């Protein structure tokens, strides 16, 4: 069984996020295209190791459609080809109105599941902390989930559980029939599963969308390739994103193919940049990287937590969405960008009214 995570000891960047900056629907709902998402471009800088003039390089505010203008021939984008599952399933006959979110498939056929219930405000859901070891929840179509033990073991009352699924069909087929996309209260209305897929999605397995890839379109990918920018795949099946304050990322299943590891190493050896499309890609690549800064073919489950102290070994730049205040994802962003750049970018994003969450805007961090 996987080890239980510890609470955060590093303090991520904190800030006040106004509620009206949370994107409640995809940009295309208003008639635009995915590539119309706003893009802020920042360069890594830290007053401790650059001169004052360099640190004051301006942030660039543009749209994602212009991504190619900030990349060079020979740069490599690494993308996540995991596809999003309709991972929210109602518990049949539950007096609590429970929803079961299938978060992560674990070794030995176990699953990590999240329990949620309708929010007291009437909008969306909230964590459910009254599960019990040995409880079985009935699911639609004759399915069931057996709760084994809370995650993390020995922690406070848990919404996450080690569990066994008993389904009448393979998980993707079962969820396609009985599940729906995980949706939180800020989403104005339900959206089809297609709204939660990226252009790179090939292998079903993510509880929630690897959202950094969402603004890409086929036309934009074609333009990048025409410019000489490389694109290589990894897989990391994301778990639920609804972490409580102080929680670290959960174990997640990943794969870095041999061809991708080779291309990452060749790109860096040639003096070009490896840019991860999302925190999921960063976690996968850094799990596969050794202390000498070389990537290796690798697969399994990763519990790696990337912090500023640990830093990154093969990832030079990052394309990512805007993350919650004081969340663990911000420690990963800081590992790539440096504390000063993160603080500066996030202050500018709030002032400039960028949009947050999976349907929101984008942050490009370059060395």
Tell me the pLDDT band of 327, cut-offs 50, 70 and 90. Answer: confident
d(CA 275, CA 264): 10
pTM: 0.91
Q: Residue 221's pLDDT is what?
A: 98
Mean pLDDT, residues 262-271: 98
Higher-pLDDT residue of 94 and 244 is 94
Which of the pair, 121 or 69, is modelled with greater confidence?
69
Residue 15 has a pLDDT of: 85
Percent with pLDDT over 70 in the chain: 90
What is the Cα–Cα distance from 304 to 251, expressed in whole angstroms?
Answer: 8
- What integer pLDDT is reported at residue 156 of this predicted model? 60
Ordered DSSP codes for 227-254: TT-EEEEEEEE-----PPTTPPPPPEEE
In the prediction, which pLDDT does 322 show?
A: 96
Average pLDDT of span 49-68: 76
Average pLDDT over the chain, rounded to an integer: 90
Percent of the chain with pLDDT over 90: 74
> At 126, is the pLDDT very low, low, confident or very high (cuts 50, 70, 90)?
confident
Distances (CA, A) of 66 to 62, 260, 281, 290: 7, 25, 22, 33
Mean pLDDT of 208-225: 97
pLDDT at residue 47, as a whole number: 47
319 half-sphere exposure, CB direction, 13 A CA radius: 29
Q: Which helix (H) or strand (E) holds 264?
A: helix 258-269
Interval 159-168 mean pLDDT: 95
How many other C-beta atoms can be found within 10 angstroms of the C-beta atom of residue 132? 8
CB-based contact 366:273 (threshold 8 Å): yes
Beta-bridge partner residues of 163: 111, 147
């Amino acid at each position: 069984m996987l080890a239980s995570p510890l609470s955060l000891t590093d303090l991520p960047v904190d800030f006040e996020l106004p509620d009206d900056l949370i994107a409640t629907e995809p940009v295309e709902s208003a008639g635009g295209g995915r590539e119309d998402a706003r893009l802020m471009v920042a360069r890594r800088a830290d007053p401790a190791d650059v001169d004052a003039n360099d640190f004051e390089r301006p942030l660039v505010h543009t749209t994602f459609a212009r991504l190619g203008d900030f990349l060079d021939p020979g740069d490599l984008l690494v993308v996540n080809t995991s596809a999003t599952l309709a991972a929210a399933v109602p518990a049949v006959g539950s007096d609590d109105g429970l929803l079961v979110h299938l978060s992560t498939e674990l070794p030995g056929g176990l699953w990590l599941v999240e329990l949620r219930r309708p929010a007291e405000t009437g909008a969306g859901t909230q964590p459910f902390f009254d599960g019990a070891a040995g409880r079985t929840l009935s699911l639609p179509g004759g399915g069931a989930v057996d709760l084994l033990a809370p995650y993390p073991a020995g922690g406070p009352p848990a919404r996450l559980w080690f569990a066994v699924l008993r389904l009448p069909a393979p998980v993707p087929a079962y969820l396609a029939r009985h599940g729906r996309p995980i949706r939180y209260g800020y989403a104005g209305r339900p959206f089809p599963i297609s709204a939660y897929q990226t252009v790179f999605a090939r292998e079903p397995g993510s509880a929630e969308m690897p959202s950094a890839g969402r603004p890409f379109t086929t036309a934009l990918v074609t333009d990048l390739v025409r410019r000489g920018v490389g694109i290589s795949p990894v897989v990391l099946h994301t778990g639920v994103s609804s972490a409580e304050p102080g929680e670290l990322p959960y174990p997640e299943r990943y794969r870095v193919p041999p061809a991708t590891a080779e291309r990452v190493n060749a790109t860096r050896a040639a003096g070009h940049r490896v840019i991860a499309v999302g925190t999921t890609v960063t976690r996968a690549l850094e799990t596969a990287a050794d202390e000498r800064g070389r990537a290796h073919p690798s697969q399994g489950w990763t519990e790696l937590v990337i912090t500023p102290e640990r830093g990154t070994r093969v990832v030079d730049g990052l394309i990512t969405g805007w993350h919650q205040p004081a969340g663990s994802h911000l420690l990963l962003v800081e590992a790539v960008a440096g504390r000063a750049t993160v603080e500066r970018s996030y202050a500018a994003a709030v002032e400039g009214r960028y949009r947050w969450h999976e349907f929101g805007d984008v942050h490009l961090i370059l060395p």
